[in-house]
């Protein structure tokens, strides 16, 4: 007897990946900026900050790199943008 397509049981590995995907934290932009600024303050080590926030140090460093790149871009190009209703437009 043939099995119907799509009725196969997921493997244990696929099940674990699915659980991890569903339980992954999603940080807002404001939350990421707060964590990065706290790290830049230097009160605690980055490793300690990441443990407290429950994030990987690699995530901290990749987010801080993006943040600093955006800050540098805006600091050199801010004159090209206009503030409208709390948002910058132009470029």
d(CA 77, CA 69): 12
Residue of 87, 88, 71 lying closest to 79 (CA atoms): 88
**pTM surpassing 0.75?**
no
Give me the pLDDT at residue 91, please: 61
The model's pLDDT over 48-91, given as tens digits with 9 standing for 90+, comes to: 999 999 899 999 999 999 999 988 887 887 777 777 777 767 76
C-alpha distance from residue 28 to each of 25, 31, 32, 63, 68 (Å) = 10, 5, 6, 12, 17
The model's pLDDT over 6-60, given as tens digits with 9 standing for 90+, comes to: 666 778 888 888 877 777 678 888 999 999 999 999 999 999 999 999 899 999 9
Q: Residue ranges of the domains in the chain?
A: 26-80
Give me the pLDDT at residue 40, please: 93
């Amino acid at each position: 007897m043939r099995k119907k397509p799509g009725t196969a049981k997921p493997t244990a590995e696929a099940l674990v990946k699915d659980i991890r995907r569903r339980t992954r934290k999603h940080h807002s932009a404001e939350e990421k900026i707060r964590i990065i600024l706290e790290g830049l303050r230097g009160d605690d080590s980055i490793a300690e900050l990441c443990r407290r926030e429950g994030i990987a140090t690699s995530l901290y460093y990749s987010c801080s790199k993006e943040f600093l790149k955006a800050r540098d871009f805006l600091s050199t190009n801010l004159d090209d943008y206009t503030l409208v209703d709390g948002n910058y437009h132009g470029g």
